[in-house]
Amino acid sequence: MPLTWEQVVIDAHDHRELGLWWARALDWIVTNEDVTDVEIRSAADHKTWCIAS
């Protein structure tokens, strides 16, 4: 049975800057951003995602 990553959560002092940095580095899109989290995905409908909070 293969392992599939669904999400990664990264704790950060400046979550917005880190989330935007990862989005640029991976060429992903920001799918949600609020005062505590930035969510990025490889595509809007893709399951794999990352949250900087």
> Residue 2: inside a domain, yes or no?
no
User: How buried is 36 (Cβ within 10 angstroms: 0-12 exposed, 13-18 middle, 19+ buried)?
Assistant: exposed
User: How many domains does the chain fold into?
Assistant: 1
> Residue 20: inside a domain, yes or no?
yes
Looking at residue 49, what is its pLDDT? 67
Domain range enclosing 32: 7-52
Residue 1 has pLDDT above 80, yes or no: no
> Residue 13: inside a domain, yes or no?
yes
At 3-50, the pLDDT tens digits run: 777 778 888 899 889 989 999 999 999 988 888 888 888 877 777 666
Looking at residue 39, what is its pLDDT? 86
> Residue 45: inside a domain, yes or no?
yes
Structure tokens at 13: 């002092």
Dihedral pair phi/psi, residue 41, rounded to 5°? -140, 160
β-partners of residue 9 are 51
Looking at residue 53, what is its pLDDT? 66
> Residue 23: inside a domain, yes or no?
yes
> Residue 30: inside a domain, yes or no?
yes
